[in-house]
Structure 1
Amino acid sequence: MCCFSQLSLLTEHLAQLIRIDCFTVFPREISLKVLGYLDAMSLCRAAQVSKHWKRLADDDILWRGICEQHIGQKCRNCGWGLPILEHRRTVRVLSSSPCPSPSLHSPQPLNKRELEEDLSLSERPRKRQRSETSQSTQMRALRLPLESSDSPSSQSSSSSSNVDRSLLVPSSPSPPVDSVTRPWKDVYSERLTIERNWRRGRCTVQTLKGHTDGVMCLQFSETLSHPSFPILITGSYDRTARVWNLETGTEVACLRGHTRAVRALQFDEAKLITGSMDHTIRVWNWRTGKCIRTLEGHTEGIVCLNYDSNVLASGSVDATVKVWNFRTGAAFTLRGHSDWVNSVQLWDSESNTTLPVTSSSTSMFDALASGSASPPSSSAPQIDPGKMLFSASDDGTMRLWDLTRRTCVRQFTGHVGQVQSMKLLLVDESCGESSVGSDSEVTKASRATLPPPDHPGYNPSSLTLPTGFISQAYGSSTFSSSDSSFTVPINKGKSVDGQATPSSSSKRRTPVLISGSLDNTIKLWDIDTGQALKTLFGHIEGVWAVASDKLRLVSGSHDRTIKVWAREDGRCTATLVGHRGAVTCLALGEDKIVSGSDDGDIKLWAFSG
């Protein structure tokens, strides 16, 4: 046993030894392994200790693992999920070497995340009471910032006579432009800022003016191969469909031809399909403004439509759903609803997907557009097995139809008002209900074997990459989306530290239906049982539109507001106010909401600022 004087002497001699910075002694690999157990906040604090600690804490290997844990999915530990921002990625491999820290090797960062290409009106009556008789795009380099709705530059002309439509027609491909990369820490920080803006309701608002009556439907795409700017298409009671440059807020085309209100639309790379209260469906080449074909069959106005590469479904005021087969040119009718059919959604139950539209698929309409249409072959398949259809109606119910058997297989009842809209999502069963609609999470096997966060063997980098998430490492693979295919470098089957990662391809995904009704509520439904899982309350008037992605749910209402919801607990995280009329339609992006209103305005709510 040492006395006090001996302990003092021992402390004096050991004082310098115990002050040694372990990271100056450890090999670099060991230091990174130790820091790999820290979360993002702790890494930022560690970077403030010294210059050496900062070089280690800012290493790409550490931040890539944190990005894999959060981007595109909900983190199991903190509950936060960050947007992928698909449209901002420029995929280009600059080096085949591993991912070193830029501060220790070269001022030119290698193998990192790609850098971005560029740093009170009176209310309208309800739909049955309203009248239906009322009646210089800029290049991508301009990149105008989002402005308030009062700014003159945010308002576009309703006339498209002076529009240079060659901007919409694909031209000869331009040579690829060299792009630079940036650290994964910057990638995480940018997406964290956007997610915080979502949670706090911080956004900038831009107003697009041009329609002379209420806007009833819209869709936008930021990943088209051409043109270079994001495209928004809207339909209105003024009988037109308008094409917009979503970056600048300018109108680039106005499609005229319908004789009554345009109530539904959907577009892809090749075509636009619109449904109108004039009882017709029109197929357009939206790049040139030419109407390719007009489909007739409903006895009343068309209120909704949805199509994939083989089938078009439309719902009507006549209480029927018509299914048009692109392969054969034939159509059949589904009967069962007793009132307006307000929304339809195709679903491939065998592959558990929501049937995206691919521009490369050949349809009957594409053949007609090129003048090479031929009679349907007798051996052509009718409807793919497992193809289903959801429909929502003013009779207060939703129905699930088997298109192969042409029968209703399930009915969803619970709303006490007209069901105006619905959205189909996919739940990853391995992560429970908290991952509704997420594209990728940890599999059951990996969750069972993964140590808790406070365990010395815990490695956040061993989590499975989310679908569509680019992890630049040593190999090269090809990802594909509904709009394009591209090659990106990834770490094939390995985590950041080289360990094998479990495959997510075997996970079963369960569909969940979201519906909005004029009873002021939003409901989440179990497809298998037909029972409501959850009801969201908050709007004080009817809900006209709902949309959802992997991280959140949004709704538009007759009370002129848009609400952003945390889907897991049914909590409203933000309420957006600005429209002067009912919010009749909306679309959700990773960093924005686009909404249309009965007041004739279109608003872009951007959370990227």
Structure 2
Amino acid sequence: MSIVEDEGNVLEVSPRFDRLLSSVLGSPFVTTTDLPPSEHAHMRGYNTLVDLEQVDGALIAVDRTETVTRPPSPTPSFATDTFSLINWPESADIYAWQPRPSISDAAPACSFLPSGSRRSGPHPFYPSSAPTPFNSLRVSQSSCSKGSRNFNLLPRLWEVLRESSPAKKSKRRLDIAAGEFWAELGGSGYIDWANLPPLDGEEGELIDDEACIIDVRAVTGLDIVSNIPDELALHLMSFLDLPDIMACLRVSRTWRRLASDNAVWQSLFARKRDAGWLLDLRRIRAPTQSASRIRSSLHARGRSGILPAPLEFDWRRLYRSRAELDRRWSTVPHVGQNVEDKENMKVWEPRVRRMLGHTDSVYCLEFDSSRIITGSRDRTIKVWSLKTGRCLAAFSGHRGSVLCLKFEHDFDLDDANMVSEGGAAGWSKGMMVSGSSDCSVCVWNLYSYPVEGEDGDRDCTTVAEVRGILRGHTGGVLDLRIDGQWIISCGKDAAVFVWNRSNLTLHRAFRGHEGPVNAVGIQGNRLASASGDGKMILWDMTTGDRIRTFDAHDRGLACIEFKDDLIVSGSNDCKIKVWSASTGECLRTLTGHEMLVRTLSYDPLSGRLVSGSYDRSIKVWDVATGKVVREFRGLHYSHIFDIKFDCCRIVSVSHDQQIVVLDFTEGLDTSLFV
């Protein structure tokens, strides 16, 4: 602290103000000790402490009239690391004596000089008498050291607001319509920024940067699924599709537990019923003893069966297996562990199994979940194990070639077919019919009993006996169909016979074709017949009337499939046609075979159609699109006579005496799939 004498008075002077001070923005301000003498200097004394000015938080003996107070620092609403209100170049002023730049690239100048230092003078665009913020606030040229990159925010912001307004249908640039810009704002060019009217709401809400910062820890919400009873949560999830369930598995542990529940996946599986995702619960086998013995013991205890509760299954595993099974039928490449390994991408190829045992051409086949039954030109009928391929039984009853046959599928799984009298406990009884070139139809009783094989596999021993012979055809019997009430046969004599299944009597005969009837189909009380004369006729079995005649193909028909309201026909013209039974319209024509289409097998639920031809190829079609899904060649060495398929396999027989099974189930448990 230094002491100064002034006319006898002693003043204390702070040494802090004997040096130059600088503001936070770098602008120099003089101290009181550097001020020139003033006319008020004689008033200094101890009595002047009442009129002291507080500078930097301390009362200093400086007259207020001789004090230069530091102005408040500006508080812009955007970052100022590359921007200064003081250091702004003269060249950025749109009112400088130079060609006028774009107004969208300019920003208003500012200065902390007194208002009396305003620059006034003529301007090529606006008169000097109309002050604006741009010519009233100026910065001295000596203080302009560098340009600002962000100070042009205000005009750009205004441009964005104008262009984003719904009322402005067309985009306008401010540098093109500068006059209109100022005219719209105020007319005279002067803008009172502090008293502008509020925004009209059309330009949206403006928020500062801090509002965009979200603290994740502060986000709170209510997990409804986790706070409701599990039964209700599972019921809600039962309405979700597979992608939604997969998303739920990744939400949280609680959601994963609920989404993994068996009931949820059972609902997903049941929703695929219309696509052919069906289960046969009768196929469940006990691990230690045969199903027939278990049923016998349960009947002895007065119980009705062994069907478990649906939730006893692992429905998620069943869903995954069935989805994979459907994928294998398509031509979508199979990708291994590494998705990027495109070199190893390939279409799934089914496993091929061949069965040999017939000594001549194999004309017909049928199969269920455990057995394949075939008929041959060697006049025998053979039963094969579907699982192992072994020949389980062989029997004969015809004097000619066995051209066609049908039997009750999985009859040994139905408790109603169990035989308990005559010392045949544990045996199941079924029915089979076969047609031959000897013009007869044989009706067989099939008996099945499961036995353990040498390798531990369980197969069914099959025994057959002729129940009756149906005679009436004068030519070879070419095709057969059975249902719960009727046996339908057709032959070379151009006739179609309907037999009563219970008493084996002739119910009705249909005649109307001019050539041999090669195939028949039945749905309810409607019967469709296809002939070598190229025509297809739809009959009413109840009244015997002809409903409709289809001029189906250019050449003779060899096979048909009648399912629901669709009739699919194959012909010697190498074409396959899909018909509407109710309207008679040809819905689609499938081409691709090079020779006669000899056999067809159609599943209306999955929409798959499998065809076999004399060109030795097997094609899988999508009936909805008419496209070939899969094609297999080289399986047989000669004409293919018959084909059947289910969701797991395709079985075909040929003139080359072979039975070929294409198995799509490798590595999958498909024992319950229909």
TM-score exceeds 0.5: yes
2:260 maps to what in 1? 58
Correspondent of 1:209 among 345, 348, 356: 356
2:117 maps to what in 1? none
Determine the C-alpha separation between the residues in 2 that align with 1:564 and 1:317: 29
Further displaced range: 514-523 or 48-57: 48-57
Correspondent of 1:281 among 418, 432, 441: 441
1:292 maps to what in 2? 467
Counterpart mapping for 1:138-177 below 5 A: 173-175=296-298
Asked if 2 retains the 8 angstrom alpha-carbon contact of 1:235 and 1:265, the reply is: yes
1:197-234 CA distances to partner (integer Å, 9 max, x unpaired)? Answer: 11136422221211111211111222xxxxxxx12211
Query: Which of structures 1 and 2 has the larger relative contact order (alpha carbons within 8 angstroms, sep 6+)?
Result: 1
Asked if 2 retains the 8 angstrom alpha-carbon contact of 1:219 and 1:266, the reply is: yes
**Residue aligned with 1:67, SS:** helix
TM-score, normalised on structure 1? 0.59
Determine whether 1:305 maps to 2:480.
Answer: yes
Counterpart mapping for 1:486-565 below 5 A: 511-549=565-603, 550-551=605-606, 552-565=608-621
1:199 maps to what in 2? 330
> How far does residue 254 in structure 1 lie from its aligned partner after superposition?
0.9
> How far does residue 399 in structure 1 lie from its aligned partner after superposition?
0.9
2:317 maps to what in 1? 186
Determine whether 1:220 maps to 2:367.
Answer: yes
2:562 maps to what in 1? 424
Could you say if the C-alpha distance between residues 10 and 191 of structure 1 is closer, same or farther in structure 2, counting changes exceeding 3 Å? same
Counterpart mapping for 1:362-401 below 5 A: 387-401=525-539
Could you say if the C-alpha distance between residues 37 and 518 of structure 1 is closer, same or farther in structure 2, counting changes exceeding 3 Å? same
2:336 maps to what in 1? none
**Residue aligned with 2:637, SS:** coil
Determine the C-alpha separation between the residues in 2 that align with 1:297 and 1:33: 59
Correspondent of 1:17 among 212, 218, 240: 218
Determine whether 1:336 maps to 2:508.
Answer: no
1:279-299 CA distances to partner (integer Å, 9 max, x unpaired)? Answer: 111112233322222222211
Correspondent of 2:395 among 248, 255, 260: 255
1:265 maps to what in 2? 405
Q: Over aligned residues, Cα RMSD in angstroms?
A: 3.3
> How far does residue 320 in structure 1 lie from its aligned partner after superposition?
1.5
- 2:280 alignment partner AA: E
Determine the C-alpha separation between the residues in 1 that align with 2:618 and 2:297: 40
> How far does residue 347 in structure 1 lie from its aligned partner after superposition?
2.8
Asked if 2 retains the 8 angstrom alpha-carbon contact of 1:303 and 1:342, the reply is: yes
1:84 maps to what in 2? 278
Determine the C-alpha separation between the residues in 2 that align with 1:21 and 1:183: 32
Determine the C-alpha separation between the residues in 2 that align with 1:259 and 1:215: 16
Q: Return 5+ residue gaps in structure 1 as ranges.
A: 74-80, 91-115, 119-138, 142-166, 223-229, 349-386, 427-510
Asked if 2 retains the 8 angstrom alpha-carbon contact of 1:422 and 1:513, the reply is: yes
1:464-495 CA distances to partner (integer Å, 9 max, x unpaired)? Answer: xxxxxxxxxxxxxxxxxxxxxxxxxxxxxxxx
Q: Return 5+ residue gaps in structure 2 as ranges.
A: 1-75, 80-206, 299-304, 332-347, 412-429, 448-462, 667-674
More helix by share: 2
Determine the C-alpha separation between the residues in 2 that align with 1:173 and 1:423: 39
- 1:41 alignment partner AA: P
Could you say if the C-alpha distance between residues 171 and 320 of structure 1 is closer, same or farther in structure 2, counting changes exceeding 3 Å? farther
1:351 maps to what in 2? none
- 2:432 alignment partner AA: L
Determine the C-alpha separation between the residues in 1 that align with 2:619 and 2:541: 34
Determine the C-alpha separation between the residues in 2 that align with 1:44 and 1:219: 40
Determine the C-alpha separation between the residues in 1 that align with 2:281 and 2:371: 12
- 2:296 alignment partner AA: P
Determine the C-alpha separation between the residues in 2 that align with 1:140 and 1:570: 47
1:423-462 CA distances to partner (integer Å, 9 max, x unpaired)? Answer: 1122xxxxxxxxxxxxxxxxxxxxxxxxxxxxxxxxxxxx
Determine the C-alpha separation between the residues in 2 that align with 1:538 and 1:117: 46
2:639 maps to what in 1? 582
Could you say if the C-alpha distance between residues 212 and 521 of structure 1 is closer, same or farther in structure 2, counting changes exceeding 3 Å? same
1:10-53 CA distances to partner (integer Å, 9 max, x unpaired)? Answer: 67784302277947864465866776675323433542455444
1:540-563 CA distances to partner (integer Å, 9 max, x unpaired)? Answer: 222111111110211111111211
**Residue aligned with 1:286, SS:** strand
Asked if 2 retains the 8 angstrom alpha-carbon contact of 1:88 and 1:117, the reply is: no
Further displaced range: 263-272 or 190-199: 263-272
Further displaced range: 532-541 or 22-31: 22-31
**Residue aligned with 1:529, SS:** coil
2:249 maps to what in 1? 47
Determine the C-alpha separation between the residues in 1 that align with 2:484 and 2:352: 35
1:249-276 CA distances to partner (integer Å, 9 max, x unpaired)? Answer: 1111111121211011111242211100
Asked if 1 retains the 8 angstrom alpha-carbon contact of 2:225 and 2:255, the reply is: no
Asked if 1 retains the 8 angstrom alpha-carbon contact of 2:497 and 2:506, the reply is: no
1:313-335 CA distances to partner (integer Å, 9 max, x unpaired)? Answer: 21111222222234662454322
2:665 maps to what in 1? 608
- 1:568 alignment partner AA: A
Could you say if the C-alpha distance between residues 334 and 185 of structure 1 is closer, same or farther in structure 2, counting changes exceeding 3 Å? same
Could you say if the C-alpha distance between residues 318 and 42 of structure 1 is closer, same or farther in structure 2, counting changes exceeding 3 Å? same
Could you say if the C-alpha distance between residues 251 and 140 of structure 1 is closer, same or farther in structure 2, counting changes exceeding 3 Å? farther
Determine the C-alpha separation between the residues in 1 that align with 2:242 and 2:531: 47
Over alpha carbons, which structure has the higher Rg? 2
Asked if 2 retains the 8 angstrom alpha-carbon contact of 1:261 and 1:278, the reply is: yes
Correspondent of 2:546 among 402, 408, 413: 408
**Residue aligned with 2:323, SS:** helix
> How far does residue 392 in structure 1 lie from its aligned partner after superposition?
0.8
1:101-145 CA distances to partner (integer Å, 9 max, x unpaired)? Answer: xxxxxxxxxxxxxxx878xxxxxxxxxxxxxxxxxxxx999xxxx
TM-score, normalised on structure 2? 0.54
**Residue aligned with 2:219, SS:** helix
Determine the C-alpha separation between the residues in 1 that align with 2:478 and 2:592: 26
**Residue aligned with 1:187, SS:** helix
**Residue aligned with 1:338, SS:** coil
- 1:199 alignment partner AA: S
Asked if 2 retains the 8 angstrom alpha-carbon contact of 1:23 and 1:53, the reply is: no
Determine the C-alpha separation between the residues in 1 that align with 2:473 and 2:488: 12
Determine the C-alpha separation between the residues in 2 that align with 1:237 and 1:389: 28
Determine the C-alpha separation between the residues in 1 that align with 2:582 and 2:234: 47
Could you say if the C-alpha distance between residues 581 and 171 of structure 1 is closer, same or farther in structure 2, counting changes exceeding 3 Å? farther
Further displaced range: 81-90 or 516-525: 81-90
- 1:402 alignment partner AA: D
Could you say if the C-alpha distance between residues 590 and 528 of structure 1 is closer, same or farther in structure 2, counting changes exceeding 3 Å? same
Asked if 1 retains the 8 angstrom alpha-carbon contact of 2:534 and 2:554, the reply is: yes
Asked if 2 retains the 8 angstrom alpha-carbon contact of 1:555 and 1:563, the reply is: yes
1:242 maps to what in 2? 382
